[in-house]
Structure 1
Amino acid sequence: MAEVTAEYEDPISSRSRIIAAAARLTSSDGWSKVTMSRLAAEAGVSRQTVYNAVGSREDLAEAMVLTESAKFMFKIVEGFDSHPDDLMAAIHAALENTLVFAEGNALLRAVVSATHGADTELLPLLTTHSESLLGTVKVVVQNRVDSYEIGLEPERIATVIDLVVRSALSHVMQPSATPQETAESITWLVASVLRRNGNSA
């Protein structure tokens, strides 16, 4: 039997390391500076491993966005799970968690800078996935909201969730106040809607 001398590289571990390296390089130098050769050096793998793990540069961009999006989803879920018996407190916590995380997120800032012409190659990261991201966030929020008693028709609840998610994403991309102030404002809006419909949630 032939002896195997090449060191085995776990494809899952390599992929995670490569995506993390891409996020670091994008955050520090911009997406246009992220080449497969530089990425391989940053991740400590061969260039062929980069291609095997993530495919093309466009595939890498998509993987990077989806990976970062998952972190935002976790912050939303964490907020709701911290207040299982108080919907308003849960909404406030989910919003504040997400906005605080966004405030210190270097990759998000690099992506947002593309809207101001800093890196036009990065724009597809915003536009291509915006609708799917919006839909995914709404599903995550809806799943959590369903565990609370709310005296509204399902379609009205969906409308409120859509309003909250779109408002939150707008502030994530272009904050106009502190995370705490924004969370307070949006939570107040939801509470006002519920009170108007005779709900004390």
Structure 2
Amino acid sequence: MSHVTSYVERARASLREQLLDAAAGILTHSGYAGLRMADVASAVGVSRQTVYNEFGNKSALVQAVALHTFAEFTDGIRRCLDDADGVLAGVHAATRHTIEHAGRNPLVAAITGAQPAEDLLPLLTTRGQPVLGAATDLAESYLREQLPDLADPRFVAETMVRLALSHLVLPTGSATEAADRVCAVVGALIESPIKSPTKPVAEEAT
């Protein structure tokens, strides 16, 4: 019975992968407004209801595509971190890799470029919590492993990820220059830790 269950699970995982790839392709060329569940279903050869059964709604599908796309970056990021000689070297290599790889990824390049996919930009900004959270988890795990005495690794990790995303969304120089700037901030936080705020400024003032 277990082999039957395993087959069903593999088949569903394969279907989900195909649906995510199809949705990513449509989003790249048509943006959020041009994404239709029926088109995703047609591209894979299933019913529209199958897509709804798997993801629930269009918004959830797009969020799943965002996380799926981020997962494509993680192997390279981990390799950069593991191969580096020191924490800052790892942060530099991972940041540079992320920005350079983003330029080669059709969906991310479309999101950060011109129309028609610019309406997906909130996936990296105002609605970017799933991607931000996943990236921060990865960075925090690395910092905890490499710097067990670091006062607030979550704060440093989130700061690092937010800075990298800002350079990705609105670049002001090359990937190497962006990595230099991220490392300058991360290095300062490591050398002179700043405790993350736990209360709103207004509350502390009262």
How would you bin the TM-score normalised by the shorter chain? 0.7 to 0.9
Describe the SS at the equivalent of 1:32.
coil
**1:154 alignment counterpart:** 151
Per the TM alignment, residue 99 of structure 1 is displaced from its structure 2 partner at its CA by 0.9
The question of 1:175 aligning with 2:171 is answered yes
**Aligned mates of 1:126, 1:153 — CA distance in 2:** 27
> Whose radius of gyration is greater, 1 or 2?
1
Per the TM alignment, residue 143 of structure 1 is displaced from its structure 2 partner at its CA by 0.8
Per the TM alignment, residue 25 of structure 1 is displaced from its structure 2 partner at its CA by 0.8
Per the TM alignment, residue 127 of structure 1 is displaced from its structure 2 partner at its CA by 5.4
TM-score, structure 2 length as denominator?
A: 0.73
* Deviation sequence 1:177-198 (CA, Å, 0-9, x none): 111221123224434555668x
Describe the SS at the equivalent of 1:23.
helix
- Give % identity: 30
* Deviation sequence 1:91-110 (CA, Å, 0-9, x none): 11111111111122221233
Contact 2:29 / 2:116 at 8 angstroms: preserved in 1? no
Contact 1:76 / 1:141 at 8 angstroms: preserved in 2? no
**Aligned mates of 1:196, 1:120 — CA distance in 2:** 38
Contact 2:28 / 2:106 at 8 angstroms: preserved in 1? yes
For structure 1, the 5+ residue unaligned runs are: 1-7
**1:144 alignment counterpart:** 142
The question of 1:59 aligning with 2:79 is answered no
**1:99 alignment counterpart:** 99
The question of 1:68 aligning with 2:69 is answered yes
TM-score, structure 1 length as denominator?
A: 0.75
**1:44 alignment counterpart:** 45
Contact 2:33 / 2:119 at 8 angstroms: preserved in 1? yes
Deviates more, 1:64-73 or 1:128-137: 128-137
Q: Mark the CA change 1:41 to 1:138 in structure 2 (over 3 Å): closer, same or farther.
A: same
Which residue identity lines up with residue 65 of structure 2 in the other structure? M
Per the TM alignment, residue 160 of structure 1 is displaced from its structure 2 partner at its CA by 3.4
* Deviation sequence 1:27-72 (CA, Å, 0-9, x none): 0122222212221222233333323333322221121122112223
Per the TM alignment, residue 138 of structure 1 is displaced from its structure 2 partner at its CA by 2.0
**1:90 alignment counterpart:** 90
For structure 2, the 5+ residue unaligned runs are: 1-7, 194-206
Q: Mark the CA change 1:66 to 1:35 in structure 2 (over 3 Å): closer, same or farther.
A: same
**Aligned mates of 2:57, 2:154 — CA distance in 1:** 37
**1:12 alignment counterpart:** 13
The question of 1:190 aligning with 2:186 is answered yes
The question of 1:131 aligning with 2:129 is answered yes
Contact 1:32 / 1:122 at 8 angstroms: preserved in 2? no
The question of 1:77 aligning with 2:78 is answered yes
Which residue identity lines up with residue 47 of structure 2 in the other structure? S
Deviates more, 1:138-147 or 1:51-60: 51-60
**Root mean square deviation of aligned Cα:** 3.0
**Aligned mates of 1:127, 1:149 — CA distance in 2:** 29
Kindly tell me the number of residue pairs found equivalent between the two proteins. 185
Runs of 4+ in structure 1 off by over 4 angstroms are 116-121, 192-197
